[in-house]
Structure 1
Amino acid sequence: MDLSMFELMDKDKVLAAAGRTRSDGTCTFTADGSILLCCDKDVETYRVPAGTRAIGPHAFEYRRRLTRIELPEGLEDIGEAAFLACNALVKADFPTTLKHIGDIAFFATKLKSIRIPAGFEFMGDAPFLYMPRPAGRSGSMLAPECAVEVEPGNLRYSTSDGFLLERMDDGRLQAVYYFGPGGAVTIPDGVSRAGAYALTCSVTVDELNIPASLREVGTNGLSMHNHPDAIRLAVGQGEVLEILPSKESLKTRQYVRMFSDGVIDAAQLAKEYDAGLRAMKPTEERTRRIVRRLQNGVLLDGKDRSAFLNLLARDLDRIVERCARSDDVQTAGALCDLGVICRSNMSHAIDVANAVGGVAVCGRLIQASRNMASRLSLDL
């Protein structure tokens, strides 16, 4: 019997090929002992016998007392969901001969460390996925941080910035699994794809920085168990679109989730973000965010740019008054740089700021007026 890795992911094919079986009192094997088919007892520890070449799909699933599994040299394949929901499993040292791990093979385990052998070739989707429940809920079990190491010499897998990375067959770099401490998380530059459930981890992500190289997001590839304070999309050199989920409308947050799930791309997210920004009530926060949006111009087309400029122009008196009252010289200066405050309305803007005692903003506007006059004289 010679089953490929992909056939080992199919339990029915394994059982059909098994024919007669044998047992060691704890697990059932194929007659020749090469494939471990299933674990028959809920044991705490188990040593897989030498000569076992593969662990079949679902072999140990739901063995909730299992804390340690010893895997022998010579083992090459671990099938799909082989250790699914072994919630107490903390140790499984991979032998140097291991080549393949199937989809969700160690789903909902508590492995403390993962060492990928130099000769390892392929892992399926989300093999080490742990779906955390929010802390504080009844029965909450958050997986501990798991250290990941790739042995030198492996040409397909590597680690960087807390990510396990895979060089795919087409040469692209994929983020497979995040094992870092959380906080400010930066997907490494050069990563073009976030694999399925790559960021589904138990740590809290405060900020997510996405490189310009990212072009594809797998199923729930950027989904996190918390809403980060900021998501920054790098689109080009020095161009960053910043989204603040906690301050967005419900509709915009839904589009952020769709982007995280791989349903829409960055360009569509930017367009929906702009629509949400235009729909916000005219507050100081909206003004500052529109100004930032116009300044970096990431994925901002001419139509949307004109719409933002018109919004600022229509509400200019109220914006200048608010800037003056809060001494927000930065926003006032930006409005001059963007041309919202120009030679034709500068005097009026100064009068509005002066009326509420905004000395700092008045000074900034007068300075901008002089700069405009100097540029005009140079042009003449």
Structure 2
Amino acid sequence: MGDDPWAFDHGIRRSPAEGRDFEGAAVRRSPAEELVSKGYFLPYAKRTCGGEELRCGEYRYRLREDGTARLVSYEGSAEQVDIPAEVDGARVASLATNLFRGHAELRRVSMPDTVEFAGNHVFDGCVNLRSVRLSAALDQVDPTMFLQCGALAEVELPMPLVRLEGNSFSDAPVAHVAFGPLVEALDAKPLGLPHLERVTVDPANEAFSTDGRALLSRDGRHLYRLVVPCRSYEVPAGCTDVDERAFDSLDDLQEVALPEGVRRLGRMAFAKTALSAVRLPASVEAVGEKAFYHCARLVQAHLPAGCREIGAEAFAFTALARAELPAGLEQLGFRAFDHTPAQARIGEGALGVSPANRCLDLDAEGGLYRHDVFLELIGQVESYRVRPGTHAVADEAFKRHARVRAVELPEGVFSVGREAFRGNRQLVRVDLPESLERIGERAFLDTSLSTLRLSENVRSIGEDALLVQGDNQLMPRRPLQSISLDAANPVYYLENGLLCQRDGSKMGGDTCLLYVGPDDVVRIPRQVTHVASLAFCGASGVAELHLHGHLHSICNGAFSTARSIPLVHVGFPEPVDGYEAGEFRVPELSSRYRSPSYLFGAGPGGTAFDFEYYDSWVTHAATMREFAPAALYRLQHPMCLSDHTRGLYENIFQRKARQACRYFADQGDLDALAWLAGRGLLDDGAIEAELGTATREGRTQATACLLELQHRLMPAAGVDFSL
């Protein structure tokens, strides 16, 4: 507040972190409430163990509230231990932290299938433990369970859903993992097992089989995951599908042999491996999304002629020097060859389409076409002209392109697809043709366009299509500065700086789609009943906003402007406490605390104004310049003003009487000063003190205003100060 003469401490909490309630009183919180206020999640209380500690053989235990037992200590010295399923008739469901910690004599442990939870460090320091069988009811293997188990070589996992964290066995040289008959799914990659030599699957398991190194489906048709780390691997014959993430992040894998018969490579199947070359058999029909993503050493990839589909980013961030899209390819995913040498040298023919392909065509600048549809700009050019004869721009065609700044669409293009230019922040110009009829959802979202021209033929503009500023309400970029719209367009029109759509509301009436300026005084047209999502997002030029009383719908974030709208006029569908409309001055306040969007609502009954939210906003104003006129209006026009809120306003005026005097005196607002003084909100001492200050500082208007105020308040003085 230091240098701002208008700043004042109103005594009201600005954020939960300040630890004071709305009226300034100290707030006492419990330790749990303090944690929650800082963003911590407090889980539900766990079942506790009550009563005394009991003993059964070599174990001490406690009974839990549900009647099950929790083993709390082990006092034996055997080399082989079968943890009991019951103690004194109580089912063992939990193992306490440190249960077997430091028992160096242990060599083999079997856990019963009754155990549902095992605490931290259960086997920590069991340096001679070689073999362990876990419970089928155990939810997950804690990463500290086997710390300092340097001899552990065999692990049996019988649980239906195996959840292994990356470091569950990080301290153990596990060489053999056995999957039990109940295992149905593997939830995490068993990484961190560099010494693993083989895996086995119980013959009774109905979901999995294995070749000793990978997990496959029971019939061997699906390869789920390579479990044993290795440099080279040959996929077993009979496999038709390499499933999602089957080899993902196995950074030692350098060679893979795929047999004839494999038809599909799943999403991220070989991502982030050390493959340098791959030859796909003739049977492969589909390469999934990110199948070879970030294989930084991959320089060669043979794509069979019958491959019909290559997924998004399938070969992105690889070292592919050359690639030819096969003859049978029908669908190439978004950015499939992004950040590859082949993409960089596309003009030299490093990336091309087989002459036998009758579906796709790639021009010298990297524009990919399917017949008369422009699919994607693969080449890294700064300016691109879509070729004549094109009728549509596909979804995501220029999405997040790294370099293109200008695009020209030829006459004949009638459709721009969903997210066609989204995220292209270098894009500053797009020439739209007269023939354009449809713009898809989010087509120009988060770009750097400043102006667009729409012809009379445009009939459809998708949701958020023109939000070039992005859809982040807290950090929007610069919105469209202007739109040129043909006045003959029967669907869209411009009025008061607003782009509107005729009959665009489902409840009848027009829709306000977007504020494009340059009007600083904006009046929502009477025929508009719906305001679209983020219509004013990022706008900074609105000084005054007028809302009529019969809006039926205001979407999320519609008025999320870059700064507060200083003055808002709101008409009410029905009089509120005798008032048909209100004029509200809105203080400037960070969007972290307040958003103009929350001031307004709408429904079948018409426009609504949130008086409580507005009052909270005003009472948090940072300066008297912003607080005083808004608060005075609320006191003089008490629409939906509670006694509590009235008291807050009056209390602030009384405590800051000098600053209130200063503000209204400098404005020459004698009526405001007289109104406040007449209700006891300005005392004589404050008026006298501020009069002295104004006189010394030579503030003529303020001095005259305060002298006249004194004259009105003390007429018996007999002096006509108006002279």
The size of the alignment, in residue pairs, is 328
- Which residue of 369, 375, 381 corresponds with 1:43? 381
Is residue 223–residue 261 contact of structure 1 (8 Å, CA) maintained in 2? no
Whole-Å Cα distance in 1 between the matches of residues 418 and 602 of structure 2?
A: 25
Q: Say whether 1:270 aligns with 2:611.
A: yes
**2:267 matched residue in structure 1:** none
Residue type matched to 2:611 in 1?
A
- For residues 32-69 of structure 1, what are the alpha-carbon distances to aligned partners after superposition, in whole Å with 9 as ceiling and x for unaligned? x2322222212233332333221110012122322332
Aligned to 1:259: 598
Greater relative contact order, per chain length (Cα 8 Å cut-off, separation 6+): 1
Q: Conserved in 2, the CA contact under 8 Å of 1:178 and 1:198?
A: yes
The alignment status of 1:27 with 2:370, answered yes or no, reads no
The structure richer in strand per residue is 2
Q: Does 1:232 align with 2:568?
A: yes
Compute the displacement of 1:363 (Å).
2.7
Contact 1:103–1:125 (CA under 8 A) maintained in structure 2: yes
Percent identity over the alignment? Answer: 21
Q: Hey, what's the Cα distance between the residues in 1 that align with 2:625 and 2:367?
A: 66
Match for residue 401 of structure 2?
A: 63
Unaligned 5+ segments in structure 2 are 1-310, 313-329, 333-356, 573-579, 692-705, 716-723
Residues 112 and 314 of structure 1, relative CA distance in 2, 3 Å threshold: closer
Is 1:195–2:525 an aligned residue pair? no
Partner amino acid for 1:200? C
Cα 1:279–1:142, aligned 2, differ >3 Å: closer, same or farther? closer
| CA distance 1:95–1:313, change in 2 (3 Å) | closer
Work out the CA distance in 2 between the residues paired with 1:128 and 1:106. Answer: 5
The answer as to whether partners of 2:530 and 2:552 remain within 8 angstroms in 1 is yes
Q: Does 1:334 align with 2:675?
A: yes
Tell me, yes or no, if structure 1 residue 114 matches structure 2 residue 455: no
Whole-angstrom CA distance in 1 between matches of 2:600 and 2:582:
23
Contact 1:231 1:244 in 2 (8 A): no
Relative to total residues, which structure has the larger helix share, 1 or 2?
A: 1
**Residue type of the partner of 2:566?**
A
Query: Does the C-alpha gap of structure 1 residues 176 and 360 become closer, same or farther in structure 2, counting only changes over 3 Å?
Result: same
1 CA distance for matches of 2:649 and 2:385? 69
TM-score normalized by the length of structure 1 = 0.68
Q: Which TM-score applies when normalising by structure 2?
A: 0.38
CA contact (8 A) 2:624 2:660 kept: no
What is the SS of the residue equivalent to 1:42?
Answer: coil
Contact 1:287 1:319 in 2 (8 A): no
Map of 1:205 onto structure 2: 541
Query: Against the structure 1 CA distance between its residues 263 and 359, is the aligned structure 2 distance closer, same or farther, given a 3 Å change threshold?
Result: same
Change (3 A) 1:340 1:102: same
CA distance in 2, matches of 1:155, 1:123: 13
Corresponding residue for 2:483?
A: 148
Q: Please give the alpha-carbon distance, in whole angstroms, between the structure 1 residues aligned to 2:600 and 2:648.
A: 32
Distance in 1 (CA, whole Å) between partners of 2:612 and 2:547 is: 18
Contact 2:569 2:581 (8 Å CA) reproduced: no
Q: State the match for 2:139 in structure 1.
A: none
User: What amino acid sits opposite 1:127 in the alignment?
Assistant: A
Quick one: which of 218, 236, 256 aligns to 2:555?
Answer: 218
Pair 1:161 & 2:496 matched = yes
Task: Write the letter of the residue equivalent to 1:28.
Answer: L
Q: CA RMSD in A?
A: 4.5
Q: CA deviation at 1:271?
A: 1.1
- Secondary structure in 2 matching 1:46: strand
Tell me how far apart the structure 1 counterparts of residues 479 and 621 of structure 2 sit (CA, whole Å): 40
Residues 351 and 40 (structure 1), Cα distance of their counterparts in 2 relative to 1, 3 Å cut: closer
Matches of 1:276 and 1:228, distance apart in 2: 11
Q: 1:141 to 1:215 in 2, by over 3 A?
A: closer
- Select which of 342, 345, 361 maps to 2:709: 361
In 2, are the aligned partners of 1:198 and 1:221 still within 8 Å (CA)?
yes
Provide closer, same or farther for how the CA distance between residues 132 and 314 of structure 1 changes in structure 2, counting only shifts above 3 A. closer
CA contact (8 A) 2:619 2:649 kept: no
The secondary structure found in structure 2 opposite 1:131 is: coil
Residues 1:296 and 2:632 are matched in the alignment: no
1:376 aligns with: none
2 CA distance for matches of 1:180 and 1:218?
20
Q: Which amino acid aligns with 1:239?
A: G
Does the aligned pair in 1 maintain the 2:361–2:368 contact within 8 Å? yes
Assess, with a 3 A threshold, how the Cα gap between structure 1 residues 127 and 260 changes in structure 2: closer, same or farther. farther
Post-superposition shift, 1:172? 2.6
Distance 2:626 2:487 in 1: 50
Residue-by-residue CA offset, 1:309-346 (whole Å, 9 max, x unaligned): 5567778977888777885632243348xx846xxx9x
Q: Look up the match of 2:417.
A: 79
Alpha-carbon contact 2:469-2:480 (below 8 Å) kept: no
- Following superposition of structure 1 onto structure 2, how do residues 87-98 of structure 1 map, counting pairs within 5 Å? 87-98=425-436
Q: Give the distance between the partners of 1:99 and 1:146, measured in 2 at CA.
A: 22
Structure 2 counterpart of 1:172, which letter? G
Name the CA distance, whole Å, in 1 between partners of 2:686 and 2:379.
79
Provide closer, same or farther for how the CA distance between residues 131 and 276 of structure 1 changes in structure 2, counting only shifts above 3 A: closer
Give the deviation of 1:223 after TM superposition.
1.8
1:244 has 2:587 as partner: yes
Structure 1 SS opposite 2:595? helix
